[in-house]
A and B are shown apart, each in its own frame.
Chain A
Amino acid sequence: MKEALRMRGVTKRFGEVTAADGLSISVEKGTILSLLGSSGCGKTTALRLIAGFETPDEGVIEIGGRTVYGPGICVPPEKRRAGMVFQDYALFPHLSVSGNTAFGLDKGPRRSGRVREMLSLAGLDGLGSRMPHELSGGQQQRLALARAIAPGPGVLLLDEPFSNLDARLRVQIREEVRDILRRSGTAAVFVTHDRDEAFYMGDLVSVMDRGRLKQTDTPYDIYHSPDSRFVAEFMGTADFIPCKLADTLAVTVIGSLPAGGMNPGSKEGLEILVRPDDIVLTPSASGQGVIESGIFQGSSYLYRILLDSGETVHSLASHSRVLGTGTRVLVGFDPHYAPVFFRNGSRVR
């Protein structure tokens, strides 16, 4: 038994709205799953269903191989062994750092040792007698984590835990949190609306939309081989260029590529997905497109190019080369680009 969490067909309706629509997730021990979606897509509901704060209408939930929700079974939250880190941390304001950490631990000789171990894991050594309001934002975050890990939960649920931190602190804290999670070996589900956070934290990333899971994959695959147009666009700027198959080649207005062993079914309506980093630009009077705009992004420029054929593509280029609006450019594929084919918004394999 390797799975820390398994959900099968979990559905939850609030009146007319279906907040979770047949969710099936599994998280292996010691791994982190990022649940990514825009606000209101049902990702927090998914966490609350696992934790037991909401009751599903259908489906099965197992934590550590034990069914906590299923036909005739509904284990109350306190008996699920699902630790939770809340968006606002929900630290007990009347208890010290140690008191918070010890809250889920039974009295006994081992308790103080476990508290010390947790505080040291979270980098809070020596702060045990402080009150939560005397901690910095990052320390509060780590305390919430230490408190949730202390009882040794079967799965840890993190609900947008970085959303209360400012942008600079966030990058630092998420490193610390990932480090703590890795060292504790706890399986975790991490909910976020931020793609970069999801990529950074998750071994796997699940994209959610209107209560449904669209795709679950490694960060690399979900970015480069999305199953649907929705996921592709959610992952970042994505352009779809029509292409035709000619023997083993895929032919587009910006060049031809080997089509690989793809079985297209029909030859009609094929498109390929290109990302800005798949496109290279060369200024040339004989190019197929004109630069419409360039957005400065710090380390790079993101250009929007209008092709003569009417399509628009984006290209990410180094900041060292600045191309003005109206410059005619030759548009080509990056030599490492492997095409991903779509038809009617879904991937063709």
Chain B
Amino acid sequence: MPHPAARLNTGKSPERPVRPTGPGFFLYAVSIATALLIILPLAYLVLRAAGADGAVTELLWRPRTWEILKRSLVLAFSVTFLSTLISLPLAWALERTDLPFKRMWAVLTTVPIVIPSYVGGFVAVSALGPRGLLQQALEPLGVDRLPEIYGLSGAVMTLTLLRFPYMLIPVRASLANLDPSLEESSRSLGKGSLETFLKVILPQLRPAVAGGCLLTAMTALGDFGAVSLLRYETFTWAIYLEYQSVFDRTAAAALSLVLAALALGLLAMEGRTRAGASFYRMGHGKRPPLRPLNLGRWKVPALALFSLLALGSLLMPVFILLMWLVRGMAAGEHFPGLPAAMVNSLCISAAAAVIIMGAAFPIAYLSARSPGRLIYVLERVAYFGFALPGVVVALALVFFGIRFIGLLYQTHALLVAAYVILFLPVALGPLRAVLLQQSPRLEEAAYSLGRSQSYALTRVIIPLARPGILAGAALAFLVTMRELPATLILSPIGFRTLATSVWSASSEAFFARAAADSLVLIALSSVPMAILIIKERSRREV
């Protein structure tokens, strides 16, 4: 007999065929709606470009297009190449040698990702540009011209210094997971450490390096902040110019399509390297770590290299920002727009983070629990934003918004929609990981105790997924707050965020204001970053 307190489901209600563990209709509906939100604007962008008759082909065959393509590829290649060159020895030194202060270097070589590229661009211009800090300092010595910072060299330097961690992080992880016995056997076969690195380690790192290359290249290709401030006309900057000043929307659409095609091509390649990358994680069980290699007399050059990098990518930029701020304050400068921009940034990022999590959860849950062809496609689509540059997404939404949902044009809703498209993958990662770790037995236990799916979701699955939900939300918040191009294009009139004010202040050479906004932005984005790092550490120690 069931206990009276138990839920009695033996009532007379007619029993219709129901799939036993099939997730609710609602979750599918939200996932499909999210996928449509991503697909439809892009599809319309294609349609619109195609609808412009021969104009598009004509536009695309202009020599200018080839110039832009060439510049974009040169930038992406240079940044990727230099990042690889820096990251390989750095990763090796961090994982395999007795380098002093390893923990500190590990943090210092990761943190630069927090600095938005437009802040980097601003720092480069204000420090190394004409009438910048360096020139002012050198003026008494009779130097009145510095090597040109605008253009390729400035953009490559800025992006490399800020984005090399995209290469370093996967390479380090791969190196840490490598089976140490391979290296030990190479050494025992009489190979020195350099030869071992080249012949044994490097081939094993190939998937990680390939993945890092694609990630770095995608970042460089999609970057708007640094290239716009350093006036190096790649696709993103060209699209923005066409859209903003010339109002030639068809040209902007055509260029966007080329960029989107490039980016999605890279994304497809990235997926392939990831699929093949599993072999370096095959080892399981704990092996004693390798005895770190004694750097000996190489210790000093290694430390010098690390210090130089930390100085260039992190300490100098922060120092320069502080310097402009102090100078501005000494000169009695006011920062009237700052509080409003701060509130705007916090509010829109928080709202976006919540909505992104709401959109990410159904897809992550379905892909973890009931993978099928439909879910696979939805998940692939959800990852589009990972590759699509902000400019492209923003333009697609502008066209789509004006044509189909005119009421939404120039509203916060459209801006948040752009954030959802762009940053869904950021939230999906941690969420999916935490859901995959959860044993499906827990959910089945809830059902076998007579509970419905929504009860199981709210009482078991979501409470247990909280770490992943928080991590995903923190990341989504962080990247939303830094986002520039979509915010510039889609913000309602008069809506200024920290990101847009840094950009406009530095393009108009209000260096002190730009510095103040940048510092507040970096400080605010450090909070979720710090939470994530602390959480990660405490999780590891448990």
Which A residues form the contact surface with B (CB < 8 A)? Answer: 51-55, 64, 66, 72-84, 86-88, 90-94, 103-106, 108, 110-111, 113-114, 147-148, 150-154, 157
Which of B2, B20, B442 meets A90, CB within 8 Å? B442
Which of A55, A92, A111 meets B20, CB within 8 Å? A55
The answer to whether B451 and A104 touch across the interface, beta carbons within 8 angstroms, is: yes
Dominant secondary structure of chain A at its interface with chain B? loop
- B246 CB within 8 Å of chain A: no
Known: A51-B444, A66-B10. A83 touches B5 (CB 8 A): no
Q: In the assembled complex, which residues on chain B have CB atoms less than 8 Å from the CB atom of A53? A: 20-21, 444, 447
The number of residues on chain B lying at the interface, defined by a beta carbon within 8 Å of a beta carbon of chain A, is: 32
- B463 CB within 8 Å of chain A: yes
The answer to whether B1 and A74 touch across the interface, beta carbons within 8 angstroms, is: no
The answer to whether B19 and A77 touch across the interface, beta carbons within 8 angstroms, is: no
Which of B20, B445, B459 meets A76, CB within 8 Å? B20
Report the separation of the CA atoms of residues A125 and B450 in the bound assembly, to the nearest whole angstrom: 25
Q: In the assembled complex, which residues on chain A have CB atoms less than 8 Å from the CB atom of B439? A: 88, 90
3 cross-chain pairs, A with B, having the tightest CB-CB distances, nearest first: A104-B449, A152-B2, A151-B6
A-B contact pairs, 19 of them (CB 8 A): A51-B448, A53-B21, A72-B17, A74-B15, A74-B17, A77-B20, A79-B9, A88-B439, A90-B441, A90-B444, A92-B460, A104-B6, A104-B451, A105-B7, A113-B5, A114-B5, A147-B445, A151-B7, A152-B1
- B193 CB within 8 Å of chain A: no
- B373 CB within 8 Å of chain A: no
The answer to whether B1 and A78 touch across the interface, beta carbons within 8 angstroms, is: no
Report the separation of the CA atoms of residues A151 and B6 in the bound assembly, to the nearest whole angstrom: 5
- B446 CB within 8 Å of chain A: yes
Q: In the assembled complex, which residues on chain A have CB atoms less than 8 Å from the CB atom of B446? A: 78, 103
Closest A residue to B21 using CB positions: A53
Min CB distance B139 to A, Å, is: 65
Q: In the assembled complex, which residues on chain B have CB atoms less than 8 Å from the CB atom of A55? A: 19-20
Report the separation of the CA atoms of residues A110 and B464 in the bound assembly, to the nearest whole angstrom: 28
Min CB distance A2 to B, Å, is: 14
Contact with A along B416-447 (1 / 0, CB 8 A): 00000000000000000000000101101111
Report the separation of the CA atoms of residues A209 and B450 in the bound assembly, to the nearest whole angstrom: 31
Min CB distance A114 to B, Å, is: 5
The answer to whether A52 and B20 touch across the interface, beta carbons within 8 angstroms, is: yes
Closest A residue to B446 using CB positions: A103
- B136 CB within 8 Å of chain A: no
Looking at A74, A91, A103, A114, which has the most chain B CB atoms within 10 Å of its CB? A103
Contact with A along B437-480 (1 / 0, CB 8 A): 00101101111111111000001100110000000000000000
Closest B residue to A154 using CB positions: B2
Report the separation of the CA atoms of residues A81 and B450 in the bound assembly, to the nearest whole angstrom: 7
Q: In the assembled complex, which residues on chain A have CB atoms less than 8 Å from the CB atom of B464? A: 92-94
Min CB distance A38 to B, Å, is: 22
The answer to whether A105 and B5 touch across the interface, beta carbons within 8 angstroms, is: yes
Known: A55-B19, A104-B6, A106-B6. A88 touches B441 (CB 8 A): yes
The answer to whether B5 and A106 touch across the interface, beta carbons within 8 angstroms, is: yes
Report the separation of the CA atoms of residues A153 and B463 in the bound assembly, to the nearest whole angstrom: 26
- B285 CB within 8 Å of chain A: no
The answer to whether A86 and B5 touch across the interface, beta carbons within 8 angstroms, is: no
Closest B residue to A71 using CB positions: B17
Known: A54-B20, A75-B15, A76-B18. A152 touches B6 (CB 8 A): yes
Min CB distance B529 to A, Å, is: 26
- B3 CB within 8 Å of chain A: yes
Interface set, chain B 1-38, CB cutoff 8 A to A = 1-7, 9-10, 15, 17-21
The answer to whether A75 and B451 touch across the interface, beta carbons within 8 angstroms, is: no
Min CB distance A104 to B, Å, is: 3
For the A-B complex, the count of residue pairs with Cβ-Cβ distances under 8 Å equals 124
Q: In the assembled complex, which residues on chain B have CB atoms less than 8 Å from the CB atom of A72? A: 17
Report the separation of the CA atoms of residues A91 and B444 in the bound assembly, to the nearest whole angstrom: 11
Report the separation of the CA atoms of residues A74 and B21 in the bound assembly, to the nearest whole angstrom: 11
Q: In the assembled complex, which residues on chain B have CB atoms less than 8 Å from the CB atom of A110? A: 3-5
The answer to whether A83 and B449 touch across the interface, beta carbons within 8 angstroms, is: yes
Min CB distance A67 to B, Å, is: 8
Report the separation of the CA atoms of residues A94 and B441 in the bound assembly, to the nearest whole angstrom: 15
Q: In the assembled complex, which residues on chain A have CB atoms less than 8 Å from the CB atom of B453? A: 78
Report the separation of the CA atoms of residues A152 and B7 in the bound assembly, to the nearest whole angstrom: 9
The answer to whether A78 and B4 touch across the interface, beta carbons within 8 angstroms, is: no
Q: In the assembled complex, which residues on chain A have CB atoms less than 8 Å from the CB atom of B15? A: 73-75, 79
The answer to whether B447 and A76 touch across the interface, beta carbons within 8 angstroms, is: yes
Min CB distance B447 to A, Å, is: 4
Report the separation of the CA atoms of residues A9 and B119 in the bound assembly, to the nearest whole angstrom: 70
Min CB distance B334 to A, Å, is: 50
Looking at B9, B449, B463, which has the most chain A CB atoms within 10 Å of its CB? B449
The answer to whether B21 and A77 touch across the interface, beta carbons within 8 angstroms, is: yes
Min CB distance B460 to A, Å, is: 6
Report the separation of the CA atoms of residues A78 and B441 in the bound assembly, to the nearest whole angstrom: 14
List 6 additional contacts besides A84-B445, A92-B445, A104-B6; criterion CB under 8 Å: A52-B447, A75-B18, A78-B449, A105-B6, A110-B3, A114-B3
Report the separation of the CA atoms of residues A150 and B15 in the bound assembly, to the nearest whole angstrom: 25
The answer to whether A104 and B7 touch across the interface, beta carbons within 8 angstroms, is: yes
Known: A104-B6, A106-B6. A77 touches B445 (CB 8 A): no
Report the separation of the CA atoms of residues A147 and B442 in the bound assembly, to the nearest whole angstrom: 13
Closest A residue to B447 using CB positions: A77
Q: In the assembled complex, which residues on chain A have CB atoms less than 8 Å from the CB atom of B442? A: 90, 92
The answer to whether A106 and B444 touch across the interface, beta carbons within 8 angstroms, is: no
Report the separation of the CA atoms of residues A197 and B367 in the bound assembly, to the nearest whole angstrom: 38
Known: A106-B5, A110-B5, A114-B5. A81 touches B20 (CB 8 A): no
Report the separation of the CA atoms of residues A14 and B450 in the bound assembly, to the nearest whole angstrom: 27
Looking at B2, B3, B19, which has the most chain A CB atoms within 10 Å of its CB? B3
The answer to whether A86 and B444 touch across the interface, beta carbons within 8 angstroms, is: yes
The answer to whether B6 and A86 touch across the interface, beta carbons within 8 angstroms, is: no
The answer to whether B445 and A111 touch across the interface, beta carbons within 8 angstroms, is: no
Which of B3, B17, B21, B444 meets A150, CB within 8 Å? B3
Which of A93, A148, A154 meets B449, CB within 8 Å? A148
Known: A51-B444, A152-B1. A74 touches B18 (CB 8 A): yes
Min CB distance B252 to A, Å, is: 50
Min CB distance B128 to A, Å, is: 53
Interface set, chain B 294-340, CB cutoff 8 A to A = none
The answer to whether A81 and B5 touch across the interface, beta carbons within 8 angstroms, is: no
Known: A82-B448, A84-B445. A106 touches B7 (CB 8 A): yes
The answer to whether A74 and B444 touch across the interface, beta carbons within 8 angstroms, is: no
Report the separation of the CA atoms of residues A267 and B441 in the bound assembly, to the nearest whole angstrom: 54
Q: In the assembled complex, which residues on chain A have CB atoms less than 8 Å from the CB atom of B9? A: 78-79, 81
Min CB distance B39 to A, Å, is: 32
Interface set, chain B 486-506, CB cutoff 8 A to A = none
Q: In the assembled complex, which residues on chain A have CB atoms less than 8 Å from the CB atom of B459? A: 103
Report the separation of the CA atoms of residues A51 and B441 in the bound assembly, to the nearest whole angstrom: 12
Report the separation of the CA atoms of residues A162 and B19 in the bound assembly, to the nearest whole angstrom: 30
Closest A residue to B448 using CB positions: A84
